[in-house]
Chains A and B, each alone.
Chain A
Amino acid sequence: MKTKERVAGVVILVVVTLTAGFLLSQVYAVASPRIEEQKRKEKENLCQEIFPEGKKMEDVQVGQLPVTIVYDQAGVKLGQIVQNRVTGYGGEIFLLVGVDTEGKIRKVKVLQHNETPGLGARVAQGSFLKQFDQLTLEQLYLKTERPEGKIDAISGATISSRAIAEGVRKALNLLAPTEKSGSSEKDL
């Protein structure tokens, strides 16, 4: 009696897990191409927002960070988009930094953050991020910082504002040698 019950338990557990596994593999087979498609579309939309004239993209890895190189229709390089993260006030902030071929900021976007709602979270808004457009590396500091930069911090959220500026600087630093390829190679 005891062994019979035990065997029944094992059998039912095996049947249930096998069925579940089979079912999930079927669902996954249907869903996975769509999931890939969604991921690709999402990324494409972000790249389009930064480089509206971009047509072709190429993913490379520079140092630790994923970088997307964007070309226009004729195959001329427009610039690069760096994905970077930086520690803010409430955790990590994920940034997308678009840089043109002259090493100037094209556009900065915040992908994900955990800053205080109503205060630090305002760094993710367009009005703050718009200040970064067209800035160069040495201008990417807050106005109150030394060296003095061109960015107005959001009042009450200096830490979050400084974190974004730092993240953008790091992304630009990473690209700097490849951007000024001619001169920097000579320096080395």
Chain B
Amino acid sequence: MKKLVNWQSFSDGLWKENPVLTLMLGLCPLLAISSSVTDSLGMGVAFTFVLFGSNLIISAIRRWVPSQVRIPVFIVVIATFVTITDYTLAAFLPELKRNLGVFLPLIVVNCIVLGRAEAFAARNNVFNSLLDALGMGLGFTLVIVLMAIIREGLGNGTIGPLTLFGKNYKPFLIMILPPGAFLVLGFLIALKNNLAGRRNRC
């Protein structure tokens, strides 16, 4: 962790410390939004932007923030970036903003963002914090989009604008309903643990 540039900060977020599959953080927006591929992609990008901005600022000012006030400072920084994202989406992509609904402002209290600020950005230099943000953001985005592809594909027969199985497909409804989110997430975590376990044994 003392190295000036540590590429592992990027790759950890994708697999070994994937925020969703390993750290089990940020599950709330993951479960709620992953019923639609387009919304999931939007959520992933918005989330990555907020994490990138907050990690950047927090690691840059980390030497001047006394530990007693660090949490309020983190929250203010994160809330600022979330509000910027909120305004930007309202101005340019109002439909996406409507679909994300309450989960967009709720990024403020997203455990991944706050967790990375506390566990990583407050202790590492700016460059590594940015790598960490990109890795974690991409890790989250990949999982939410993968879940959405499975859920929307089976539950509605579509992926975004694409129709998968033709008109006569009878959708596997539970996948797009809330229980489907838990089922798919469970299978993905099991798969990840299985793959990771196998590699460790070798």
Interface residues, chain A, with chain B CB atoms under 8 Å away = 5-6, 8-10, 12-13, 16-17, 20, 23-24, 27-28, 31-32, 34-35, 38-39, 42, 112, 116-119
Q: Is B177 an interface residue (CB 8 A)?
A: yes
Q: Do residues A117 and B64 form an inter-chain contact, with CB atoms below 8 A?
A: no
The 7 nearest A-B residue pairs measured at CB? A34-B91, A31-B87, A9-B69, A20-B80, A31-B91, A9-B66, A35-B90
How many positions in chain B have a CB within 8 Å of any CB in the partner chain? 28
Secondary structure at chain A's binding surface: helix, strand, loop or mixed? Answer: helix
Residues on A with beta carbons closer than 8 Å to the beta carbon of B92: 34, 38
Tell me the minimal C-beta distance from A115 to chain B in angstroms.
12
A29 to chain B, nearest CB (A): 10
Q: Which label, helix, strand, loop or mixed, suits the secondary structure of the B interface?
A: helix
Q: Report chain B residues within 8 Å CB of A42.
A: 94
B76 at the interface (CB under 8 A from A): yes
Check A5–B76 contact: CB distance below 8 A: no
Those of B75-134 within 8 Å (CB) of chain A: 76-77, 79-80, 83-84, 87-88, 90-92, 94, 98
Of all chain A residues, the one with the shortest Cβ separation from B83 is A24
Q: Is the CB of B94 within 8 A of A28?
A: no
Please report which residues of chain B, range 33-83, place their CB below 8 angstroms from some CB of chain A when the two chains form the complex.
Answer: 35, 61, 64-66, 68-69, 72-73, 76-77, 79-80, 83
